[in-house]
Amino acid sequence: MVVVPIVAAYGLPIPKTSSRSITSPAGTADTMEVLANVNLGISQMQELVLKERGCLAWGGHMNLAPADDVMISVERPLNIDTPEQMVASILSKKISAGSTHLVIDIPVGPAAKVTSRPDAVRLRKLFEYVGGKLGLVMEVIITDGSQPIGNGIGPVLEARDVMKVLRREPDAPLDLREKSLMLAGMVLDFDPALPGKAGYARAKEILDSGQALASMEAIIDAQGRNLNPPRLGEMSFEVSATRTGVVQTIDCYAISQLAQTAGAPQSPGAGVDLFKKVGDAVKKGEPLYRVYSVFKSDFAFAKEMAKRGSGYVIG
C-alpha cells in the first residue's frame, strides 16, 4: 500500500487490484477498505488511474477473474492456498487490469506461506514461466519472511502502519518503510528514462518530500474516503515475555492464526499489535504484543489460544 502512492506520485500508472484475505488476517483490499471504498468498477478504476495515476481496489468487484473469485470462496473456509492457484490468482487479475510490468515479492520463513528457499525458487520459476507466456515484464524477488513486516496484523492496525510511514511519523515501522522503498524502487527502475538503478533513491525522495502522502490522500478521496472508519476492538489483552533475553524468532503462522482467532479480517478492528521484533531485548513480564477483539467470543478464543504459546522464542 505504500508502494502505490510512491509510484503514482512519480507518474507511472499503477492500477493495484487485490483479493481479500484467503488464509491471512488481512489482504490489501481489507486494509485499504479501512481508509476508502475499494468496490470499484472497471470504468471507475480507469478514470482513477488517468486522474491520480493509481488506485487500490478489490479485484472481485470488477469481475476481472470471475473463476478465481469462485475458487477463493471455496478455498477460504478450507484454508487452501496452493502455489499454482496463487500464481493463477495473482497474474489473472494483473493481466485483466491491464498491467504490463510486475514486481513479485516472495517472503520466505519457517512460518511464512513459503517455508524454504528451494520452494521459493520453484515458485519464482513458476511466476516467471507463466508471466513470460503472458508477455509480462517481471521482477520476482525472494525476501526474508522470518518475521512480520510492520507492527500491526489486521486491517485497522495495518492501515495505521501504512499511514504512519507515509506521514513520516517517528514511530513508523522502519521495516515496512524500507521494504516499500525497495519494491517501489524496483518498479521505478522499469522506467527507461530513469538513469541506472536510481529507483530506490527516487522513491525515497518522493516519500520523504511528502509527495507520496499527498498522492495517497488524493487516491483515498477519489475512491471515496471512509468517513466512518472502523476502530480498534475495545477488548484487548497483552502477552508478555516469560523470561529475560533477546527475541530470537517469531512464529509468523502462530501470530497470524491468533489475529484471525481474534476476529481479523472479518472484524477489521481485530488483530495483533507487535511491540517486539527479532533482535529486540526484552525483560521478563514485558509485553510482547497486544491482541484486539471486537466480539466477546473471539476475545475468549484468542485469549485461550495465547495461553498455549506466545509464538516468540527468547534466548
C-alpha cell at 210: 511528502
Q: 314 vs 206, 259, 272, CA distance in Å?
A: 38, 21, 19
**Is 81 marked active-site?**
yes
Return the C-alpha cell found at 302: 484468542
DSSP structural state of residue 20? P
Spatial separation of the C-alpha atoms in residues 1 and 33, rounded to whole Å? 12
Q: How far, in Å, CA of 167 to CA of 277, rounded?
A: 22
- Among 68, 69, 81, 161, which one carries the catalytic annotation? 81
Closest CA to 314 of 270, 282, 291, 272: 282
Assigned C-alpha cell, 77: 473456509
Runs of H (alpha helix) within the chain: 3-10, 28-32, 42-52, 66-78, 83-97, 117-133, 155-166, 174-188, 199-208, 211-223, 252-261, 296-307
Length of the chain: 315
160 vs 153: CA distance, rounded Å: 10
d(C-alpha 273, C-alpha 260), whole Å: 13
Distance CA 152, CA 31 (A): 11
Distance CA 119, CA 103 (A): 18
CA distance 129 to 306: 41
Q: How far apart are CA 102 and CA 141, in angstroms?
A: 11
Q: Could you give the residue numbers annotated as active site?
A: 81
